[in-house]
Amino acid sequence: AVVNSWPTPNYIDPPTRGHGVLIVNIVCFSLAFLVVSLRLYTRLRITCSAGIDDVLIVIGLIFAIAMAAVTSIATEHWGMNRHVWDIELLRLVTVQKLNLCFQIMFSLSSCFTKISLLWFCRRLIGKGSFVLYNWAFILSMVFVGLSSFLFTIISIFQCSPVRAYWQINPTESYHCMNDGAIVFSASVINIFTDFLVTTLPMPLIWSLKLPARQRLAVISIFALGVVVNVAGSVRTVYVWKSMVAGYDATWLGWPVLIAAAVEISLGLICSSAPALRPLIAAFLPRLLSSTRNITSSYNQRTRSHKLWYSTGRSRTSRLVADDLHQSSCNSDRFEIMRTVEMESWTESRLANHDKMGHGYDITSDNHSRPVTPAGSIETKRSIIYTSPTSADSCASGPNGTHSPSDDRRLH
């Protein structure tokens, strides 16, 4: 009855929604790819602190790019930007396959991105502190993972046989669940998990002993997730219109593809932005006023000492921190790698140096020991301002050792 109410199909010159999906995909996911790449560069080359959260964000990015490819192909070549009655039957079969792939890719990308952010927050506080937050993050990761897994399984096997989802064969018996109800329910759950991931880290960050300005800055980065929530809400509204309340799924569902691209790309960007602070401190220190002040203070104190050296592999100078090099590359709890604590760590160590005339080594999981003032400042500077081309020394050997020809102190 619904099909009989459709107007006469126009297969020759049908109206379309245009190329908006392709344009949004290119812009949004190019930015997301850039930010994630900078995050990986920061973790692998500057702080030597790559972890499971970085692996998860890469997996999320891969699924996101796959989703963008699917939706772009579906709209540009298979008519997913037309009215459903203007799509030829053979094309409609492919559109249904691509639509199923889109739903699965979206769910998996969103899942890995959220778990990556939650894992990053768990690394931030460490496994032995903030027990309540630790369990909150763990339970949130379990909930996000299970909900995504269940939606993926239900989406794949919602029809029996599976091919009945895209094939139209009146002579074959089949059974399908309500596709609209499945996608709408998953969208509502996705809004909840978006809100959970956005708000859960904020009380923790506010409770950290950071300067008020820095706390606000870090919270504002996480607060960008509100835009992700808005995009998810918009997507859910159009899922309802296109798959529950209406029957023109391709035309009414076109905004779903736009909102999904914005939601996933912003999720990748917001999850990676907190990890970029060491990169900014290394290459754009003037953007961080406190880092600039610390650098100026350091330069005044060490003007008479030539602590920098150059190697044949790099023109960029850096400081040597032989004693702590291995721990800085390998210790997951190395506090300088806790991104949001970098500035407060530096300021507190310099304050201790001013007041007491000595510094203290960064606390690792196993030990801490006093170091000389020059050594404490050297450690801070070497990690924040490591040369991009010489940072491969973090993997120079199994014990993180250097050859004498590479690392020399000039006095």
pTM above 0.75, yes or no: no
257 CA to centre of own chain:
20
Q: What is the DSSP-derived secondary structure letter of residue 405?
A: T
Asked if the 3-279 domain carries CATH number 3.40.720, the reply is no
Q: What is the DSSP-derived secondary structure letter of residue 244?
A: I
Are the beta carbons of 71 and 102 closer than 8 angstroms? yes
Task: List, for residues 64-75, the tens digit of each pLDDT value.
Answer: 999 999 999 999
Q: Find tokens 């604590």 and name the residue.
A: 341
pLDDT of residue 387: 38
How far, in Å, are 53, 115, 144, 195, 411 from residue 148 at the CA level? Answer: 18, 11, 6, 16, 58
* Confidence category of residue 1, pLDDT binned at 50, 70, 90: low
Distance from C-alpha of 293 to C-alpha of 341, rounded to nearest angstrom: 17
Task: List, for residues 144-165, the tens digit of each pLDDT value.
Answer: 999 999 999 999 999 999 999 9
Res 402 pLDDT > 80: no
Res 125 pLDDT > 80: no
> In the predicted model, what is the mean pLDDT of the chain?
75
pLDDT of residue 10: 93
Of 25-39, 150-164, 388-402, minimum mean pLDDT range: 388-402
Res 42 pLDDT > 90: yes
Res 38 pLDDT > 90: yes
pLDDT of residue 240: 96
Main-chain dihedrals φ then ψ at residue 360, nearest 5 degrees: -130, 145
Res 410 pLDDT > 50: no
Task: List, for residues 264-284, the tens digit of each pLDDT value.
Answer: 999 999 889 888 888 888 887
Task: Measure the N-to-C terminal CA separation of the chain; round to a whole number of Å.
Answer: 89
Task: List, for residues 166-215, the tens digit of each pLDDT value.
Answer: 987 778 888 999 999 999 999 999 999 999 998 888 887 777 777 777 77
* Domain ranges in the chain with CATH number 1.20.1070: 3-279
